[in-house]
Amino acid sequence: MQMNQTETAFMEYVKKMESFNEALQLIYWDLRTGAPKKGVKQRSQVIGMLSNEYFQMSISEEMAAFIANLSGKKSELPELVQKTLEECKKIYDRNKKIPPKEYKEYVILQTEAENIWEEAHKKSDFDMFKPYLEKLVNYNKKFIEYWGYEGNKYNTLLDLYEPGVTVETIDKEFETLKEEIAPLIQKIQESGNKPAMDFLFHPFPKEQQKKFSLKILAQMGYDFEAGRLDETIHPFATGLNPGDVRITTRYHDNDWRMAVFGTIHEGGHALYEQNISGELIGTPLCTGTSMGIHESQSLFYENILARDRSFWEYNFEILKKYSNGQFDDVRLDEFYRAINKAEPSLIRIESDNLTYSLHIIIRYEIEKALFNNEINIDELPDIWNDKYEQYLGIRPKNDSEGVLQDVHWAAGNFGYFPSYALGYMYAAQIKNAMIGEIPEYDQLLKTGNLRPIREWLTKHIHRYGKTKKPLELIKEATGEGLSAKYLTDYLVEKYSILYNLE
């Protein structure tokens, strides 16, 4: 469809906003991959300025006029313009309601808080981080008031990451998870059946870990001409544009799993961003539709595909070649059991595929309580530790392995955590739909031919970017709404076999 003058001007305007955004994303990537410490203060000024430009454009009179002009004849607009308009209106409404001065202060606070958190985390010093956390929470409470809310106040924060998903839905699905997973964990603990693990922890040269990780990324279909792999303390993926989607990982000398599964996880995110339809470039739709759907892609690859026995039927021999001989006397089944070991632990990002959701549920419950004024910041470390003891039967010894372990709150990302568990649920549901259409799924894994899987995901998920909302996308891809059942079925079946449970 031909665009008229207003439509073209609107899309040009939006393109400029996205350029600001891309510059910002690059600066963030740089800050995390090795920007010199002493330049950070001045860089924060640059971030503040660029964010402000973006922000001002999102709430300008010009934008208001575009929205007013185009909304009237929405049904006549080309689809891309229509969806872009919807997204811009959403951002407009969200940003217009925060006083500009507060927003600016908040952006600067975020950068400062992340730096302080890094140090506090190192020193296990919650008091150091506390005043920043308190400010961040208070800003977000104010924002909720500005934005308004339906039902629970926390819904407003959830909507930032998972549009359309509410406390009501999450409470229901998380209840299912707790009901099914907690007893399963207990059964496993009681069974006394423990896989041998010692062969996992041998010195595995970093360079070799990297080479193997790159090999798996290539198998997954990660396009190295449209990305790069770097090293950071906290791995992440960032899509600057579909032609530049960067991932990072970290290496542990005696635990190759951290780098390999970490890379696969970020690789899953990256495949999503690399395969968004090119026509969405330069619009706010050129990104994942929600954190949860994004996480479904990383968790599908990391937890489901790369913990499948068939996947290792192909890759175990390759791993052996890159290692220093640590697996020479290990059978595939022993290996498979070891990498799927389930045991309660303290650190979310090091936790296993079974207990993982409980880590998320703890954070969800704390956030929900925080924003409903049911707990104080001071109490956080204790509440955190109590919940770990209650759900997982273990208690952190310090705040570094407790409440300080995640960067999310330092970045002001409240409402984000539930996405991880939502993503896991989506992933299991997506896999279920996928094997309906790809019955040879197992055989593909066994031959290292992951291309049809990536293509299926691109067809049903990736390419749409943000043009479809999460629950809409899941419904179209799987034929039904979100259901925790696919995840619990998957976990119960898998772990019952692994641990010989009744």
Active site residue 502: no
State which residue, 19 or 152, has the beta carbon closest to a second copy: 19
Identify the helix (H) or strand (E) that includes residue 82.
helix 79-96
**Residue 430: Cβ within 10 Å count:** 26
x/- track of binding to a second copy for residues 255-294 (CB under 8 A): --------------------------xx------------
Question: In angstroms, rounded to a whole number, what is the distance separating the alpha carbons of residues 374 and 211?
Answer: 49
Q: Which of 61, 79, 150, 225 binds a second copy (CB under 8 A)?
A: 225
**Residue 351: Cβ within 10 Å count:** 19
State which residue, 83 or 246, has the beta carbon closest to a second copy: 246
Question: In angstroms, rounded to a whole number, what is the distance separating the alpha carbons of residues 173 and 165?
Answer: 11
CB of 208 to a second copy, least distance (A): 16
Question: In angstroms, rounded to a whole number, what is the distance separating the alpha carbons of residues 432 and 419?
Answer: 19
Residue of 266, 273, 295, 367 marked catalytic: 266
496 is a contact residue toward a second copy (CB under 8 A):
no
State which residue, 282 or 344, has the beta carbon closest to a second copy: 282
State which residue, 239 or 470, has the beta carbon closest to a second copy: 239
233 is a contact residue toward a second copy (CB under 8 A):
no
Using the Cα atoms of residue 371, residue 374, residue 380 and residue 385 in order, give the sign of their dihedral: negative
Looking at residue 494, the DSSP 8-state letter turns out to be H
State which residue, 244 or 367, has the beta carbon closest to a second copy: 244
CB of 32 to a second copy, least distance (A): 13
Q: Which of 7, 10, 20, 276 binds a second copy (CB under 8 A)?
A: 20
Query: Which token pair is 18?
Result: 């996205």
228 is a contact residue toward a second copy (CB under 8 A):
yes
CB of 20 to a second copy, least distance (A): 8
Is the distance from CB of 63 to CB of 16 less than 8 angstroms? Answer: no
CB of 284 to a second copy, least distance (A): 15
State which residue, 38 or 79, has the beta carbon closest to a second copy: 38
23 is a contact residue toward a second copy (CB under 8 A):
yes
CB of 325 to a second copy, least distance (A): 25
Query: What is the C-alpha end-to-end distance of the chain, expressed in Å?
Result: 60
CB of 55 to a second copy, least distance (A): 14
Nearest CA to 356 out of 396, 392, 385 is that of: 392
State which residue, 36 or 72, has the beta carbon closest to a second copy: 36
State which residue, 357 or 458, has the beta carbon closest to a second copy: 458
Q: Which of 70, 107, 226, 276 binds a second copy (CB under 8 A)?
A: 226
Q: Choose the stretch contacting a second copy; rule: CB under 8 A; options: 12-20, 139-147, 382-390, 436-444.
A: 12-20
208 is a contact residue toward a second copy (CB under 8 A):
no
Is the distance from CB of 108 to CB of 385 less than 8 angstroms? Answer: no
Looking at residue 373, the DSSP 8-state letter turns out to be T
465 Rama class: left (phi>0) / alpha (psi -120 to 50) / beta: left
Question: In angstroms, rounded to a whole number, what is the distance separating the alpha carbons of residues 89 and 68?
Answer: 10
**Residue 183: Cβ within 10 Å count:** 11
Question: In angstroms, rounded to a whole number, what is the distance separating the alpha carbons of residues 382 and 384?
Answer: 5
3-state secondary structure of 461: coil
Using CB under 8 A as the binding rule, the residues of this chain from 29 to 88 that contact a second copy are 30, 34-43, 45-46, 49-50, 53
The site that binds a second copy (CB under 8 A) totals a number of residues, namely: 39
Nearest CA to 344 out of 331, 335, 333, 357 is that of: 357
Q: Which of 87, 112, 125, 223 binds a second copy (CB under 8 A)?
A: 223
**Residue 120: Cβ within 10 Å count:** 22
Using CB under 8 A as the binding rule, the residues of this chain from 234 to 253 that contact a second copy are 240-246
Q: Provide the residue type at 311 as one letter.
A: F
Binding residues for a second copy (CB under 8 A): 15-16, 19-20, 22-23, 26-27, 30, 34-43, 45-46, 49-50, 53, 223-228, 240-246, 281-282
Residues designated catalytic: 266
